[in-house]
């Protein structure tokens, strides 16, 4: 951000300096002319037809330029209004789709009482494992985990994952959870406390992200 800002500032300063220089130069250049005009004005106050013609042309040119710019500005404003209207329509359409998706997902969750129960059991087991690891009692953690990813509670949790995952992000988090859980079970079995801590955090984080994506955060106790 610093480089574009400095570049803009330098450009602005350069243009300001140029304007000041031009203005001062023009003042200097016009002084002899103004003095000359003043000298003649005392002798001949009348304005020649040539000067009137030049002044008329200048006024006509400036007036035409103003109207042209005003016309372009109106055209730009109209285009901007059209673009804003299109943006509003796209935004409203996105809001409607998101709302429809949330309602559909909520309907799936409400009709998945059994699967929600599987996930609640998963939360309780992870909580017990976390407490055991914190107390450095991996024998309790091992008894809760069951020593394998083929245990019933893991299989039931994956049934719930499959039913309630509706997008690639959710499925990615499920894969991460299962991979981390396998590492956790292996580390606990080997009685490796440090690896167990790392694997537990990875498992819990993936599961928490999944519940957030699926809208289950408020449905499960202990999160």
Once rounded to an integer, what is the mean pLDDT over residues 201-218?
94
Lowest mean pLDDT, pick from 42-56, 116-130, 203-217: 42-56
Considering only residues 130 and 74, tell me which one the structure prediction assigns the higher pLDDT.
Answer: 130
Once rounded to an integer, what is the mean pLDDT over residues 81-107?
70
Whether the pTM exceeds 0.85: the reply is no
Confidence of residue 28 (pLDDT cuts 50, 70, 90): very low
Helices 138-145 and 168-189, packing angle to 10 deg: 130
| CA 26 to chain CA centroid, nearest Å | 50
Lowest mean pLDDT, pick from 1-10, 81-90, 193-202: 1-10
Cα–Cα–Cα angle for 26, 29, 30, rounded to 5 degrees: 85
Output the pLDDT for position 43: 45
Locus of tokens 């009348």: 46
- Under 8 Å CB-to-CB from 178, ≥6 apart: which residues? 149, 158
Beta strand segments in the chain, E: none
**Torsion-angle region of residue 152: left (phi > 0), alpha (psi -120 to 50) or beta?**
alpha
Once rounded to an integer, what is the mean pLDDT over residues 76-86?
66
Once rounded to an integer, what is the mean pLDDT over residues 155-178?
96
């Amino acid at each position: 951000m610093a480089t574009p800002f400095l570049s803009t500032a330098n450009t602005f300063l350069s243009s300001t300096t140029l304007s000041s220089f031009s203005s001062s130069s023009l003042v200097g250049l016009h002084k002899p002319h103004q003095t000359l005009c003043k000298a003649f004005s005392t002798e001949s106050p009348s304005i020649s037809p040539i000067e009137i013609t030049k002044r008329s042309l200048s006024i006509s040119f400036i007036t035409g330029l103003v109207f042209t710019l005003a016309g372009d500005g109106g055209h730009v404003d109209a285009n901007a209004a059209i673009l804003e209207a299109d943006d509003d329509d796209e935004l409203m359409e996105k809001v409607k789709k998101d709302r429809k998706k949330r309602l559909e997902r909520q309907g799936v969750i409400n009709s998945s009482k059994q699967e929600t129960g599987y996930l609640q059991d998963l939360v309780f087991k992870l909580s017990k494992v976390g407490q055991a690891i914190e107390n450095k009692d991996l024998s309790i953690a091992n008894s809760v985990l069951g020593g394998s990813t083929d245990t019933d509670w893991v299989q039931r949790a994956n049934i719930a994952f499959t039913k309630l995952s509706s997008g690639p992000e959710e499925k990615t988090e499920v894969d991460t959870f299962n991979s981390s859980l396998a590492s956790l079970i292996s580390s606990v079995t080997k009685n490796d406390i440090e690896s167990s801590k790392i694997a537990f955090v990875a498992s819990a984080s993936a599961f928490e992200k999944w519940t957030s994506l699926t809208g289950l955060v408020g449905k499960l106790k202990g999160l």
